[in-house]
Amino acid sequence: MEQKKCVVIANGEFPQKAHAQSVIDQAEMIVCCDGATDSLLRYGREPDYIVGDCDSISDALRARFADRLMHIAEQDDNDLTKCMRFAQAQNVSEVVILGATGRREDHTLGNISLLTVYRNWFRRVTMVSDYGVFEPIYNTATFSSFPGQQISVFALPPVPHITLHDLRYPFVNRQPMIWWEVSLNEALTDSFTIELHEPGNVIVYKLFEKESKE
């Protein structure tokens, strides 16, 4: 039976703000990287599955959750990718990733870039932090928004030519070469469109709250 939505929790900064925590509260199924298990338990939820190489989970928790622990020893993939592969095997259609940013910056950058891989495995995949949400696209896409919402766009190979619609700062049929080129923009209306003139790997970031000008 296909799950409507799965929440995957990585071992970065555990959500502290209401918007991100609401994702956990509403989760139908939680797949947890082994190192994030303690944080999830402290929050008051138990994982449905724990996936990873088990180098970051105590013997006590291994015994307690032996019936839902998926030990994957190989080191070619990080624990987040192991969780995502597990979710794919469960015929999940939509995944929200939490705890994938913060702590080590190299892990953060690596996890965000992996969205372009995970996009191929699910109908929709997003990565939520306390501050905003990342979503990968491969073709032209329109997003809901609000006036003043802060928007950034990042392109990875293959890098397409991009045109922005209904964002404050223009970017017209250009191929960004450096990440900052299409970052730190601002929505003008209740939606905006990222037009890709050819398919490509693009990650769109939306800040949850309107940025203060103080």
pLDDT band, residue 211 (cuts 50/70/90): low
**What is the structure's pLDDT at 212?**
47
Tell whether the torsion through CA atoms of 93, 99, 102 and 106 is positive or negative.
negative
pLDDT (tens digit per residue) in 146-203: 999 999 999 999 999 999 999 999 999 999 999 999 999 999 999 999 999 999 999 9
- pLDDT at residue 73 above 80? no
Burial of 75: CB neighbours in 10 Å, binned 0-12, 13-18, 19+: exposed
Question: Averaged over 21-36, what is the pLDDT?
Answer: 94
**What is the structure's pLDDT at 214?**
39
Question: Averaged over 75-84, what is the pLDDT?
Answer: 88
**What is the structure's pLDDT at 56?**
76
pLDDT (tens digit per residue) in 95-145: 999 999 988 899 999 999 999 999 999 999 999 999 999 999 999 999 999
Q: Are 6 and 87 in contact (CB under 8 A)?
A: yes
The DSSP result for 139-182, as a single string, is S-EEEE--TT-EEEEEEESSPPPEEEESBSS---SB---SGGGG
CA-nearest of 134, 174, 137, 128 to 151 is 134
**What is the structure's pLDDT at 54?**
78
pLDDT band, residue 209 (cuts 50/70/90): confident
Question: Averaged over 200-213, what is the pLDDT?
Answer: 83
Q: Are 7 and 24 in contact (CB under 8 A)?
A: yes
**What is the structure's pLDDT at 150?**
97
Q: Name which residue leads in pLDDT, 112 or 209.
A: 112
Q: Name which residue leads in pLDDT, 55 or 101.
A: 101
**What is the structure's pLDDT at 24?**
96
**What is the structure's pLDDT at 210?**
64
